[in-house]
Each structure stands twice: as C-alpha cells, then as structure tokens.
Structure 1
C-alpha cells in the first residue's frame, strides 16, 4: 500500500518549531539586555564602590599605649618599636611546617618560638597573622627581605612592644599586657567601643594595665591604602591619625617601693603605705614578685611552671586578695571602740593574772603570771591580751562589727585594682547566713572573746588594715585608697585627679583618738617595738601583732622550731608617722615570720626612715637601745593615765559554751 506524505503539515510543524526557537532566542537576548541595563544603570554605583574597595584597603593604625609613671615621673611601663616575622596561614602557598623550616634557615627560630606560635595559632583565626619571631635584628630583617618572594603569606611587620624597665619592682601594681585570646575577643565585641580595638593584638591582663585598659589604649586611627592585585600596598591615599592612650601618674614612690621590697628579701608578705590626708598609696608591696616582661609576648612553659607551682605563690596579689587575722594590731581599734561606746575609760584598769576564764575554757595571755594592773595605755603598749578578752566579752560581737565597719574592716576599699577581696568582719547576721545547720548558725558568746585580740573569725586583707590605720591617723577622715593619682592627656598635658575629695567622716571624739594615738606612740618608746624604732629621727606611732596560723593542742606551748615553716605565726605591724602630723601610714605582714616586733617592725622602720628622712638601708644611726620592751618608765612627751583598778577579769562565766574553732591557744609576745 502506497503512503503519501502530507507536505503541508510537515512544513507547518517546521515553521512552528522555528518560530518557537526564535522566540526563545529573543527572550534570552531580552534577559541579557535587561541584566545589562540593570547592572549598568541601576547597580553601577554599588559595583563601582566594590571595585574601589578592592583597590583601596582600610588599614587600622593602632595607637601608642599610654605610659605608666610613678609620682616623681619615673617611667614604669613604656613602649618601643621592633620588627616581627608573621605568618598568615590562609595566604601560604606551601605546607606550614615546610615554611617554618625554610624560615629557620634565614632567621633564628628557637623551640620556644615554635611552641608559642602553635599556641597563638590555635587561638587565632585562619586569616589573621601570627608571629613566629619577635624583635628581629636588622641583619635578620635584611636576610628575609632579600628572600621574601619565596614566602607568600609571610611578612615582616613593625610593631609596638610593651616594656617594664624595672622588671619585678611593683609588678603586682602595674600588671602586664598580653595577646588577646578568644574569650577576650568575644568580650571586646560586646563593648560599646569595639571598633576602637580593630587591629589591636594586646590587652591589659593584670594590675593597672587591666583596670585602666580603656584609658591606656587610646583611639585607633585609619589609613586608606591603594593596593596592587597581589595585595601589596602601593601608596597611602588618606590618613586619620591615631590618638595615643592616656598616661597614668601613680601615687607610688618607686624608690620607697624598692626599699621595702629589698627589706623583705626572700620572705613572703605584703606592705601598703598610704598618705593619710590624700589616700595616695605610697608603696604597694607583695612578695615574692615576678617579672611582667615574661608575659608580654606569651610566657614560656618552663617559666610559667616555675611561677605557678612555686610554694611561695609569687602570682598572688597579697595586699588585695590575701586575708589574714590581724592579731594585736586590732587592739588600738578595740580600745577606741571602748572609749567611743563608753565601755571603758582611759584610767579604768584590770588585774591581769595571765588568763581569762570563760565557761570551761581558759584564754591565756602572752605573759606567764600576767601583766599585773593594766589600764588602757598599758594594754596597748605591752599588748595585754587579757584586757581585750574581757573587753570583747563586754562589747559583744555586733557592737564590735558596727564600730569597725566604717574603718573598712571586712569591706572592699574600692582601690583601682580588680579582684579585691572583702575579708570577713564577723557578726551574728553573718554567721546566720553563712552556715546551713541550725547549730552552726548560732553565735556563741565564747566566740566573741578571741575577736578582741584580732583572732577568731576575723580575717582582713593587708590593704584593709593599712586603710584603717590611715583613717585613724587622719582622725576619722576617710580617703579612698588609690594607686593612680592623676590621668594625663598626652596631647594637651591636662591632668585629672582621680580622688579629689574625702569619702566620708567617722564621728569620733578627738580626745578619744588622742588617747589611742598616745598609747601607740608609747609602743615605739617603751613597748613592743622599742628596739625596732630606737634612735629614730622622728616620733612614730605603731602596734605590733602576731597572728596564729593553726591551733595547737590544749595546754601545749607554741614552739616555732617544732612547727613546719608554713604553719608558723604571721608577723604584723601597723604604724604612722610623724605621730603629730602623719605623712605616712602603713600596715604589713610577714607570712610565718613569727613575732611582729622582730620580723615586721624593722621593715616598717626602713620604710619610714627612707620616706621621712631619705635614708636608705645601710646608712646606720647609733646602735639601738637594748631591752626596750622591758622599760617601764614612760619617756618624756608620753602621758600615762592614772591607774584605777575597777574590773576583775578572772570571774568564771558559764553563760555560753565556747566554739572550739574560735578558742585561741596561748597568745604570745608581739
């Protein structure tokens, strides 16, 4: 059967397909034309800006960090410029290990440099440059520059470095800076001025470097730089200058600081010296110390292990975070409280048999057989414990708490350093809130007894004791203790005082203050610190203290030779001078030093000799008088109140049981 083709139909189908193809091609060209018009007409500005951005890089200019100087202009923290060799992992064209090995042929790269680089690399983002070597020599810079073409992604950068020229001196005050870690970077992103830290690689980690970080940092500048296709800078198009950080003028006298640190030697402890009229901290010593320069570019593991595992704990800021019982240095404040609250008169005396019985416990004095008849003057001069056992019992814990609180005991002083501890000033409310079991919440009357001699639950920082001493020397006028005296604008040289006025005044009777001060002068002339202050060229007021670290068994005598060194008593001293118009007030502790008179008072003498007389250790006066603590006659200028026996402390009491934790062992000579 013959099949006839339908030519007309085939021709029609072909034309339809051809038309569809034409329409499709027309639509495609239309879309291309529309896209072309969209890009050229509507998006021209955006893409032109992006192209310009690819040609122009905005580079942050990190400001010079502010200087830190002592009160006399001695530089304690400064900056210097040096070259660093830095690797940007994302730009490397070879394996990282291979690149480092090749670099080591040109530049000296030690194992500690590699370890630090690895640690920093773990903390950094892939597009950030990480230093493999810092502080390159000119010769090393020249060698690498000649071979730079071989190392894409590796550059030499000029960086500012922080330096602490005095090393370990005042390191707990100044602190140190270090590279920003991931946690700090995240915290910075939440700051209001986060953009100001663009390009910043280091930040304050401890001390004043941390607490005054934003003032020291300054304002970041910017440069608009034309770059080549390879990313290298061709020329600078515009520049906004960075503003240097503000300078800190400290209240510290760095020479006094050196004298005290030298006086401590290899002993552990702390000393804070304050100018009572201003609150300026003249010396802030925490021993042992450390070299802050070790931390600037990342401390090596060996050095860190030595600091972190040392039994002397050099990284602990003792004046700020160490908390100790004040021992007998608390007695002058107890005496003042007794006068102000009407619990004692200066003439009122007790007969001290060498102990105070309370319930079934005997609180012993430091002197076998007691001190005989003791008035307030003698109680301070010869540090009679029995007098203050009885006084504490008569006052009660809450009355003691309420009187001591305005002096700063158990309270943060507000000093311009972070991580300050509040210490512990006990009260019935404190104990009720501090413990869980009902029997623990109860305050026993026997727990009050040892508070009178600065033991029991009492625990204060050396800074708090120095602050309280300064308030006493300043007749109840409270000045906030501070380390930064002024903040200086490096451009205008304008200075702003940090503490311009007093905080508040404690309403005290001047006659009561004078009675206590007179007794404190007696301590240095006929009392427990006579030998340490013999032949001083000024009149000082002071009080020794010895605070127990551990309790010993009942009826057992304290023998330092039989006790491990870390369990021996702490030695304390508080003082101010000149006694009539104090220019310096201080408090110090020598950890496990033993008697305050022999371990702590001589350090105070050296500090005052330098600050008041300009005399450094080694410039001897006449030989100190011997047996000063045994003198009984009051020297000229020291007024003794009339002894009037009115109170007998030996009466047995069975009102409340004594808490075993609060019962001290036999007190010792301070």
Structure 2
C-alpha cells in the first residue's frame, strides 16, 4: 500500500514539472513572439535601412577641378590622371605595417611615403581609403594586380592630380593645392560639408585658395552593392559629378616671364595693372618656388630649404611685403599740396642741401642743394628739402587724412587671401601701436621724414600700384583683381569679373601738373637715361628707400654692409600718358638706386607690353651698387617696418 502511495505522489510531481516546463516554454515562446513583433513590425523600417546600408555602399566620386589659364589661354594649372596605391585600415586586422612590408617586396615604398601614410592615418577615419603611394608606373600596377588576391583592403585607384606646367612662373599668384586638413573642413560652410565628402585636396594659397569653391565642382557618388566581405558586387546607380569652373586670369604670362627674367636672382616684387579695369597684368614675387612640390605633400628637405632660406621665397611680397615707398611718395605729397592749398605749381623754395628742424638737420640727397626748386623740379630731380618743408607745414594727420583716399594703409580688396594693410601713420595710429606711454607720443621731427616716403610709412607694392593708378588715371581706378573671367565647367559660358571703380574728387588741372612732372622724370630727370629713345612716352618716379638713418657725420657705404642691409630700389610707371593702359609699381630689395636697379625692369616690361620686344635673358646677382656720398643705411628687416619712437639724431635721405 505504501508503494502505491509513493507511485501516485511521483506521478503528481511529474505532472507538476511537466506543467512548469510547459509554462516556461510558453513564456519563452511568447517572449520570442514579442521579439519577433518588435523586430518585424515596430523596428521593421529601421532594420531594413540598416540592411540596405550594409548591402549598399555610397562611394563618392571626385569632380574634375577647374583649369586655370592666363588671359591668352595659356594653361597655368591643369589635371592629369595617375594610379595610386591605397589602403583602407578598417579592412585590415591591425597588421598594416606587415601589409606595407609585403607590398614593399615588389613596389618601392620610401621611408617618406611610410611616414606620410602614418600621418594621414591619424588625420583620417579608418574606413576611408588612404593613399600609400602616388603616381604608380604601369609596371607597378601590373605587379600589384597579379597579387591583388592576397591583399584585402588594398586597392589601386585612378585619381586626378593637379599640375602646374610652368613651375615657378607666377607661383605666388596661382598658389597651389595640398592635402585637405581638418582645419580646412572646419572652415567650410555647413552646406558645403556633403560636397567635400571624399575630397583629398584643397586650395592652400593664391587663386587656388581664394577660388576653392569655384574650382572644386560638385561631388558625385555611386551606389554599390557589396558582399559581406566588403567587395563590390555591382553598381546600382550613379550620380554624376559636375566639373569645377575654369578661371581665366588677367595675367599675361609672357609679360610675367619677361619681368621674372629681368629680376634674375634679385629679390623683390612687381605689380602691373590696367587702371581702368583693375586687371593685374603681371604679378611678380621674387624669389619664387615650384607649387608642384606641395600637391602631394612636400618632403622635409624641400620644405626646410624654402622655409629657412634667408631670401624667404614663400613670402607673397606684392601683398605681404611692407616697404617704405621712398621718393615714389613725392608725387602724392605734391598733389596733396595743390589740393589743400599749401603750394602752387610755381611756388619755389631755395634748397641749400638740408632742412633744419629744431636742433636737427635733415640732409638732402644732393650736397649743396638743388638751388631754386618749384614743384615740377622737385619731382623731376627728386628734391628732398622741398618735401621736408612741405611735411613740416602739413603735419602728420593732414597727410594721413589725404593719403588714405588713395588706399595707403588700407586693404585693396584683391582676390587673394592674407593681404596686409601696411602703415599710414597718424597720431592716433601711434597711440594704438605702442603700449609704453612714452612711445605713444608723436614727435614733431618724425613728421619730416614722412614727406619723402620714409619714417613709419610702409606700404605693399600692390597698394603703391593701386594708388599710382588712381593718380595717373585722373582720379579713377577699378579695384585690382587677378581673375578676369569665370568659365562654366559644363557649358563653357564665360562671365567677366567686374570690380568696383573708385572715383576721387580731384581737380584735373592739379593731376595734370603731377603727370607732366612724372613724364619729365623719364625725359630729363632721374630716369631719363633708362627711358631715352623708348619709342613710347611714359611717366614715372624713382625711389630709394631707407628706414634706419646713419649716425651724425657718418657716410653710407653699401660695400661695408651685408647684402640684406642695403637700400631698396623702387620705381612707379605708367603709359600712355593721356589714357594709361598699364601702371607699374616695383621694388628690388637691397639693390641701391631706383633709377639704376628698378627703372630698367619697368622699361623691359613696357617694351614688351607696347612693342613686343623681349630682352635677352639676363641673370643678375647682388652686385654692390655705386653709392654717392651721404647715402642712407638700409633697415635690418626688409619686410617689416622698423618703428623708432625716439627722434633720430640726424635723418639721412635718399638718392635716385
């Protein structure tokens, strides 16, 4: 009887266990059902999208970058196709170094390329393709192709590369592109982010930088079906790229070559422009560099050579170099005197060869003086004493207020980045420029040297060219610009670039006085020897700039100075006289006299512009210029203004 009771109890327990198991199974099934409903109903659309994303890969395709030409159609920047060896880090299981070592067995990979790849890995997302080696030869492509199966995550891609066919010619104007950085991306407007997906290069300097979005084009993309391993199976759809717009520069590249050859090995800058349109005809910064070095990342040796050179080839001198204008400033001083009633053309002064202000003697360039000097003679013979007296009468703030309208100390608005303002001094400027209250005071003696374009006056060559254009074009000139036309990359329709025209309120009879005197400079004055028998009539003004004066009773001796401490040579020019088609402003650093070093370069430019004459190639070094007595010393830093708040013991001047 006991056995029957035990059997019944065991049976009941078994049934309970079966019921518990059944309930557990039902609960699990119910949970699975809920999960199924969650996945298939509630989250259906999301998971379908994820599945599609895993199945479909969006591959951006880069547009062809716009071409840059000169005004006559000569190509200055173009594109060419080449193969690259690329690695996608996300597709390699942490063995990138081993993969590169294996690749190096049959494709040469330099230490520089390895270092560059590692640097790009740090800057790039892991799922993006990174270039290991650029511009593979056909033989290298063939070697990789037969071994491709053993290198998942490594591909050979055809990419477009930027090329600058003329190398160093006009490099500072054209600029260059380089690898896009996070800073470049951060500067993009939010609406441009998508358009730069997959972009590898970006405009870094010059026109390439300032017209980056015009040149870039519109990025296209392909929808690719991919396998679980990430291999492309087929193309689902294609959205075409839109090529970038082309740029036609206003530069005449043959004129540019003539000027660059005329500079030879000397340092300096030249701007040639059409005052009526503002078009830059030549944009020279010497020494220059080869922009092709930067396209795919410049090597360390080349960078060190450029960056540490005492000649500073990377400085864009026409817009970044700030120099005293020297006597090229005198025509503007003379015009101010006429307009403001300080002088008449006939009023003359007697020049003894110096001007005494307080206890200080400011010497003229000519020992014994120029005798009786009126306004015409003051410009033609570049008499310093005339402008010492004029500056003392006008005062620094009067000069500042009048000169500002010509663009001195102001941005011209040229279509290049990093333009510098220079310094047009005033009492207010000095109060803001210095922290020390003693240095903030304006000393009356500091005004005197401003009259001859010395002292605190420091302007860029572009500012000097633009101011000269306003003066000689009868008070009217268009803002300077380098891009003449923008050509649609698809339709090839061209749209001209038109800039603002500035019109100054200046009496024509006063402008005529100044222009007549500037013509006299080339006929009987300081530039007559250079422009004699030129075959055209031009006007001009020579200048020789100094910033730091020499001590009392000392004489300037260029031969005793380091080459970088000698005087700058300047020249401004225009022609034809009645309706100028070209205005030139140039500086040759540490070259001595404007008449002997700068004016000949301007003449070669005009000879080509008007007569089509191309001079024989001339390689000019840094010869020590002949010096007259009492010649001034050159500043230590040829690109930066030297500001000396204390009144100098004696102020030396310039000689053309």
TM-score (norm 1): 0.90
Tell me, what secondary structure is at the counterpart of 2:343? coil
Pick closer, same or farther for the CA change 1:556–1:175 going to 2, 3 Å. same
Summarize deviations over 1:6-61 as a string: whole Å, max 9, x none.
98887766655543433222111111122223323343343333323322221111
Kept after mapping to 1: 8 A contact 2:551/2:650: no
Kept after mapping to 2: 8 A contact 1:246/1:487: yes
Aligned to 2:479: 480
Aligned to 2:626: none
Farther-moved stretch of structure 1 (136-145 vs 509-518): 136-145
CA shift at 1:667, angstroms? 1.6
Aligned to 2:509: 511
Aligned to 1:34: 34
Aligned to 1:633: none
Kept after mapping to 2: 8 A contact 1:456/1:664: no
CA shift at 1:434, angstroms? 2.0
Kindly tell me the number of residue pairs found equivalent between the two proteins.
630
Question: In structure 1, how many angstroms separate the alpha carbons of the residues matched to 2:258 and 2:104?
Answer: 45
Question: In structure 2, how many angstroms separate the alpha carbons of the residues matched to 1:475 and 1:55?
Answer: 69
Aligned to 2:63: 63
Aligned to 2:106: 106
CA shift at 1:582, angstroms? 0.8
Question: In structure 2, how many angstroms separate the alpha carbons of the residues matched to 1:345 and 1:245?
Answer: 56
Summarize deviations over 1:60-101 as a string: whole Å, max 9, x none.
111000111111111100011110001222222573232222
Aligned to 2:447: 448
Pick closer, same or farther for the CA change 1:121–1:44 going to 2, 3 Å. closer
Aligned to 1:161: 161
CA RMSD of aligned residues (A): 2.1
Aligned to 2:192: 193
Tell me, what secondary structure is at the counterpart of 1:177? strand
Tell me, what secondary structure is at the counterpart of 1:414? coil
Farther-moved stretch of structure 1 (413-422 vs 174-183): 174-183
Aligned to 1:359: 358
Aligned to 2:21: 21
Tell me, what secondary structure is at the counterpart of 2:379? helix
Does residue 668 of structure 1 match 2:624?
no
Taking the TM superposition and a 5 Å limit, the aligned residue runs for 1:13-412 are: 16-93=16-93, 95-188=95-188, 191-412=190-411
CA shift at 1:419, angstroms? 0.6
Structure 2: which 5+ residue stretches go unaligned?
Answer: 619-643
Summarize deviations over 1:190-221 as a string: whole Å, max 9, x none.
53210000110110111111111111101111
Kept after mapping to 2: 8 A contact 1:63/1:218: yes
Kept after mapping to 1: 8 A contact 2:251/2:283: yes
Question: In structure 2, how many angstroms separate the alpha carbons of the residues matched to 1:544 and 1:668?
Answer: 10
Q: Out of 595, 598, 622, which is 1:600 matched to?
A: 598
Farther-moved stretch of structure 1 (296-305 vs 179-188): 179-188
Kept after mapping to 2: 8 A contact 1:392/1:452: yes
Pick closer, same or farther for the CA change 1:140–1:529 going to 2, 3 Å. same
Aligned to 1:649: none
Pick closer, same or farther for the CA change 1:158–1:272 going to 2, 3 Å. same
Pick closer, same or farther for the CA change 1:619–1:75 going to 2, 3 Å. closer
Farther-moved stretch of structure 1 (470-479 vs 401-410): 470-479
Structure 1: which 5+ residue stretches go unaligned?
Answer: 621-657
Question: In structure 1, how many angstroms separate the alpha carbons of the residues matched to 2:583 and 2:36?
Answer: 82
Summarize deviations over 1:623-651 as a string: whole Å, max 9, x none.
xxxxxxxxxxxxxxxxxxxxxxxxxxxxx
Kept after mapping to 1: 8 A contact 2:246/2:489: yes
Tell me, what secondary structure is at the counterpart of 2:531? coil
Question: In structure 2, how many angstroms separate the alpha carbons of the residues matched to 1:195 and 1:418?
Answer: 24
Pick closer, same or farther for the CA change 1:81–1:322 going to 2, 3 Å. same
Aligned to 1:553: 551
Aligned to 2:625: none
Tell me, what secondary structure is at the counterpart of 1:192? helix
Kept after mapping to 2: 8 A contact 1:549/1:570: no
Summarize deviations over 1:324-377 as a string: whole Å, max 9, x none.
110000000000000000100000000000000001100000000000000000
Question: In structure 1, how many angstroms separate the alpha carbons of the residues matched to 2:144 and 2:117?
Answer: 18
Pick closer, same or farther for the CA change 1:186–1:436 going to 2, 3 Å. closer
Question: In structure 2, how many angstroms separate the alpha carbons of the residues matched to 1:549 and 1:88?
Answer: 57
Aligned to 1:640: none
Tell me, what secondary structure is at the counterpart of 1:86? strand
Question: In structure 1, how many angstroms separate the alpha carbons of the residues matched to 2:56 and 2:85?
Answer: 24
Aligned to 1:645: none
Taking the TM superposition and a 5 Å limit, the aligned residue runs for 1:536-615 are: 536-615=534-613
Question: In structure 2, how many angstroms separate the alpha carbons of the residues matched to 1:384 and 1:418?
Answer: 38
Kept after mapping to 2: 8 A contact 1:358/1:446: yes
Kept after mapping to 2: 8 A contact 1:272/1:462: yes
Tell me, what secondary structure is at the counterpart of 2:228? coil
Question: In structure 2, how many angstroms separate the alpha carbons of the residues matched to 1:494 and 1:182?
Answer: 34
Aligned to 1:463: 462
Kept after mapping to 1: 8 A contact 2:550/2:652: no
TM-score (norm 2): 0.92
Kept after mapping to 2: 8 A contact 1:549/1:568: no
